């Protein structure tokens, strides 16, 4: 009977405080309407009998079964009582009984659903789970009718019937949600700390599943109201002289040819109240399911020229830049935020030559991944990408991609993502997924494309490729999937491989294999490589040149060989020093970077790194340095580039103030 709504995501870490999320309910028109409607129903339930009680019970034998009139808007019943007043008075009983029933359903459901967790997953727990499963499979209304017979005809019986019939759905929902939260580390941590299971359930598990349960209870209340009216209408619910909407409907239906309003009025009441509960539930689900930021306006995706650059026709490549595979000038990527646009990338310019390997390093939120996604046109619908030049092999990516550009990107640009577990479609064979590139962009036949797929898997050192092309992604290990992903990029004739943290999810030994493979691919066909990583040592090992990004800008561009010896920017030097190597001095504390990365929504004036920089002066906090040619031939954006760092004072007992996140 209760249509369990799709459970909203279990709230995860990183969401805003709960109070703030509920407040969002009152910002959407539907939410406001539902809240007002529900409030009206509840107020009516409270005051109805007091205000209209006397009128509803006033028998008037001179005016039996009358039609609508100015005195009786919905007419009168067979004892001459005002039907509208009776409908209004019946609100209290109808709503109260439904709420009682749904409360019973939720409580029984919570207990049954939590039992498997409390029992710790033994045989008894499996028995409870199976029992609930069987009960869920039973049609709810049938169950209610069955219980109605068991508990006897009357209001009490109907409450018990609807309550118990609704319980299995809630038990199942609770079970699923509880199992999801129970797998989280904080539950394990509490158990390790010796907190008992009941206490863990009450303190950690239930509060974190409360939101989806509340949503479903609200929607369930609407369904309970309908069921209750149904039972009363069938004569199994409320009995005379008490009356609820179902009972009134039953009385009204008999005289429907004499006075249609007698049936329509209680019917309308059921409809409105049911709608109020359902809409209210749906709107909380919607409010809680969406991330906090998303209430804001969305800027449609636009790829456009930066102002001032529109006039210049874009030649295939400027003279002398013939071997530029990737040419990016003044790249800006921004998103709509609650307080105006958030600039994730703020004016990035760089070029990658044929066969060159360029690394992009930075902390989370530095804009390095956004830069890569903008190049491969994968930023998503809510991003706004602007640049004065954005070219891959001479093709302008700022205009909407025509079939030729798509084909060019499909065959000459390869992308490798961080998580090899999610970058393949789990339901399709690896070979088919690779072959798709060839059939779509190279016009190959199916047979030919599959052969090429097997050949490419072999080239990324996957053993027995003929057998492997027929396997599904889950039969591949993480490292093999990442190699297959690279193999997919090699289906065409790639000129550029963009790899976004390709080894972060992999083990060190596998990481090495993938890095070696990327190096081989690059050497074999003179392929250019853009490698994005937070680990400066990985980038330094594979790349010729390194771009260091901070707060959406390139702060240094230098040859990889100079990373540990001649880095100019204090941030680059700090990044290099922070990674322990096999030669780190064991007797000294590791170098750290104090403070935390800049939030893209709140970039300070001046140099964004100033707050964490040991060399920062007043000028750094006011004026943002340009990226200019440095003393060592690279590019650097720092007023104090290359100045010696002060002796590292280790802030031994210094407190880390908990900075308020915006």
Partner 1 sequence: MSALSFDRVTVRYGRVTVVDDVSLTVPDGEVVGLVGESGSGKSTLARAAVGLVAPASGAITLGGEPVPTRGRHRPVQMVFQDPYSSLDPRMSIGEIVAEALPRGGSRAERRAEVARLLELVHLDPTRAGALPARLSGGQRQRVALARALAARPEVVVADEITSALDVSIQGAVLNLVRELQRELGLSMLFISHNLAVVRYVASRVAVMQGGRIVEEGPTAQVLAEPAHDYTRELLAAVPGRNAP
Site for partner 1 in 39-68 (CB under 8 A): none
Q: Does 194 bind partner 1 (CB under 8 A)?
A: yes
Indicate the SS3 state at residue 326: strand
Q: Does 482 bind partner 1 (CB under 8 A)?
A: no
Indicate the SS3 state at residue 400: coil
Q: Does 134 bind partner 1 (CB under 8 A)?
A: no
Contact predicate 450/429, CB 8 Å = no
Closer to partner 1 at the Cβ: 27 or 648? 648
Out of 589, 622, 629, 631, the only residue in the binding site for partner 1 (CB under 8 A) is 589
Question: What are φ and ψ of residue 338, in 5° steps?
Answer: -65, -25
What is the DSSP annotation of 56-92? HH---TTSTT----SSSTT-B-TT--BHHHHHHHHHH
- Dist CA 236 CA 224 (whole Å): 14
Out of 126, 596, 602, 619, the only residue in the binding site for partner 1 (CB under 8 A) is 596
Q: Does 658 bind partner 1 (CB under 8 A)?
A: yes
- Dist CA 319 CA 309 (whole Å): 18
Closer to partner 1 at the Cβ: 516 or 623? 516
Out of 125, 579, 601, 611, the only residue in the binding site for partner 1 (CB under 8 A) is 579
Q: Which stretch binds partner 1 (CB under 8 A): 230-238, 297-305, 520-528, 579-587?
A: 579-587
Closer to partner 1 at the Cβ: 385 or 577? 577
Smallest gap from residue 192 Cβ to partner 1 (A): 5
Smallest gap from residue 18 Cβ to partner 1 (A): 7
Residue 509, number of CB atoms within 10 A of its CB: 8
Site for partner 1 in 150-189 (CB under 8 A): 184-186, 188-189
Closer to partner 1 at the Cβ: 337 or 410? 337
Site for partner 1 in 8-27 (CB under 8 A): 11-18
Q: Which stretch binds partner 1 (CB under 8 A): 324-332, 343-351, 501-509, 524-532?
A: 501-509
Separation of first and last alpha carbons in the chain: 43
Smallest gap from residue 587 Cβ to partner 1 (A): 10
Contact predicate 270/226, CB 8 Å = yes
Q: Does 85 bind partner 1 (CB under 8 A)?
A: no
The DSSP call for residue 293 is G
Q: Does 575 bind partner 1 (CB under 8 A)?
A: yes
Taking CA atoms, 229 is separated from 89, 232, 605, in Å, by 15, 5, 64
Closer to partner 1 at the Cβ: 184 or 472? 184
Nearest by Cα to 490 from 437, 548, 543, 537: 437
Out of 321, 520, 535, 624, the only residue in the binding site for partner 1 (CB under 8 A) is 535
Out of 297, 508, 647, 649, the only residue in the binding site for partner 1 (CB under 8 A) is 508
Contact predicate 317/280, CB 8 Å = no
Residue ranges in 58-182 assigned as alpha helix (H): 83-119, 123-137, 140-151, 155-182
Out of 21, 92, 204, 368, the only residue in the binding site for partner 1 (CB under 8 A) is 204
Out of 534, 566, 601, 645, the only residue in the binding site for partner 1 (CB under 8 A) is 534
Q: Does 295 bind partner 1 (CB under 8 A)?
A: no
Smallest gap from residue 112 Cβ to partner 1 (A): 24
- Angle separating helix axes 83-119 and 123-137, nearest 10 degrees: 150
Q: Which residues contact 16 (CB under 8 A, 6 or more apart)?
A: 292
- Dist CA 108 CA 411 (whole Å): 58
Contact predicate 550/624, CB 8 Å = no
Contact predicate 390/304, CB 8 Å = no
- Dist CA 87 CA 245 (whole Å): 7
Residue 195: Cβ-neighbour burial (10 angstroms; 0-12, 13-18, 19+):
middle
Site for partner 1 in 545-564 (CB under 8 A): 560-561
Q: Which stretch binds partner 1 (CB under 8 A): 1-9, 51-59, 319-327, 511-519?
A: 511-519
Q: Does 566 bind partner 1 (CB under 8 A)?
A: no
Out of 152, 445, 580, 633, the only residue in the binding site for partner 1 (CB under 8 A) is 580
Out of 134, 581, 644, 649, the only residue in the binding site for partner 1 (CB under 8 A) is 581
Smallest gap from residue 659 Cβ to partner 1 (A): 8
- Dist CA 551 CA 554 (whole Å): 8
What is the DSSP annotation of 353-371? ETT-EEEEE--TTSSHHHH
Out of 203, 339, 428, 446, the only residue in the binding site for partner 1 (CB under 8 A) is 203
Smallest gap from residue 196 Cβ to partner 1 (A): 9
Site for partner 1 in 344-363 (CB under 8 A): 363
Q: Which stretch binds partner 1 (CB under 8 A): 111-119, 334-342, 367-375, 593-601?
A: 593-601
Cis ω before 3 (30° cut-off from 0)? no
Q: Does 611 bind partner 1 (CB under 8 A)?
A: no
Q: Does 593 bind partner 1 (CB under 8 A)?
A: yes
> Where do contacts with partner 1 occur on this chain (CB under 8 A)?
11-18, 184-186, 188-195, 203-204, 207-208, 363-364, 478, 507-512, 515, 534-538, 540-541, 560-561, 574-575, 578-582, 584, 586, 589-593, 596-597, 650, 652-661
């Amino acid at each position: 009977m209760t249509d369990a709504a799709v459970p909203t995501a279990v709230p995860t870490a990183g969401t805003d405080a709960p109070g703030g999320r509920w407040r969002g309910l009152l910002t959407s028109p539907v939410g406001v309407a539902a809240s007002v409607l529900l409030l009206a129903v509840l107020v009516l339930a409270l005051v109805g009998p007091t205000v209209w009680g006397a009128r509803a019970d006033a028998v008037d034998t001179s005016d039996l079964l009358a039609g609508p009139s100015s005195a009786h808007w919905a007419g009168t019943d067979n004892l001459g009582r005002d039907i509208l007043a009776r409908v209004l008075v019946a609100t209290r009983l109808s709503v109260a009984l439904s709420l009682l029933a749904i409360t019973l359903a939720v409580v029984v459901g919570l207990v049954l659903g939590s039992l498997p967790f409390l029992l710790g997953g033994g045989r008894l727990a499996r028995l409870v789970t199976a029992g609930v499963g069987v009960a869920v499979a039973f049609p709810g209304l049938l169950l209610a009718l069955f219980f109605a017979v068991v508990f006897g005809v009357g209001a009490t019986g109907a409450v018990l019937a609807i309550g118990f019939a609704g319980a299995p759905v809630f038990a199942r929902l609770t079970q699923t949600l509880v199992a999801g939260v129970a797998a989280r580390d904080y539950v394990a941590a509490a158990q390790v700390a010796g907190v008992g299971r009941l206490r863990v359930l009450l303190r950690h598990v239930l509060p974190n599943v409360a939101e989806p349960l509340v949503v479903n209870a609200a929607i369930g209340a609407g369904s309970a109201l309908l069921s209750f009216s149904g039972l009363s209408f069938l004569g199994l619910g409320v009995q005379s002289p008490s009356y609820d909407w179902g009972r009134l409907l039953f009385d009204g239906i008999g005289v429907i040819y004499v006075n249609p309003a007698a049936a329509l009025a209680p019917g309308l009441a059921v409809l409105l109240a049911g709608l109020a509960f359902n809409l209210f539930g749906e709107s909380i689900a919607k409010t809680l399911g969406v991330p906090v930021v998303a209430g804001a306006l969305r800027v449609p995706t636009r790829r456009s020229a930066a102002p001032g650059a529109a006039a210049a026709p874009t030649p295939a490549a400027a003279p002398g830049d013939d071997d530029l595979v990737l040419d990016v000038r003044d790249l800006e990527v921004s998103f709509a935020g609650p307080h105006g646009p958030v600039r994730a990338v703020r004016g990035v310019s760089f070029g990658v030559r044929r066969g060159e390997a360029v690394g992009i390093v930075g902390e989370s939120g530095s804009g390095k991944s956004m830069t890569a996604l903008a190049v491969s046109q994968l930023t998503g619908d809510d991003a706004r990408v602007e640049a004065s030049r954005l070219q891959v092999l001479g093709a302008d990516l700022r205009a909407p991609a025509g079939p030729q550009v798509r084909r060019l990107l499909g065959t000459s640009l390869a992308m490798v993502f961080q998580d090899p577990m999610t970058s393949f479609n789990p339901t399709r064979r690896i070979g088919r997924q690779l072959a798709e590139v060839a059939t779509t962009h190279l016009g190959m036949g199916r047979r030919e494309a599959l052969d090429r797929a097997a050949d490419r898997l072999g080239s990324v050192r996957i053993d027995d490729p003929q057998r492997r092309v027929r396997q599904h992604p889950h039969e591949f290990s993480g490292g093999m999937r990442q190699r297959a992903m690279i193999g997919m990029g090699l289906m065409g004739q790639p000129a550029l491989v963009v790899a976004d943290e390709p080894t972060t999810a992999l083990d060190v030994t596998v990481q090495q294999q993938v890095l070696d493979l990327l190096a081989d691919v690059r050497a074999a066909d003179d392929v250019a490589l853009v490698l994005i990583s937070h680990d400066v040592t990985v980038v330094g090992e594979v790349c010729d040149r390194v771009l260091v990004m901070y707060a959406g800008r390139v702060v240094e561009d230098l040859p990889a060989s100079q990373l540990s010896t001649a880095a100019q920017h204090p941030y680059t030097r700090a990044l290099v020093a922070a990674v322990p190597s096999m030669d780190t001095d064991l007797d000294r504390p590791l170098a750290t970077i104090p403070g935390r990365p800049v939030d893209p929504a709140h970039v300070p004036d001046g140099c964004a790194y100033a707050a964490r920089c040991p060399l920062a002066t007043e000028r750094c906090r006011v004026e943002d340095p340009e990226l200019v040619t440095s003393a060592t031939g690279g590019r650097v954006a720092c007023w104090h580039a290359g100045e010696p760092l002060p002796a590292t004072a280790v802030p031994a007992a210094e407190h880390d103030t908990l900075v308020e996140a915006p």
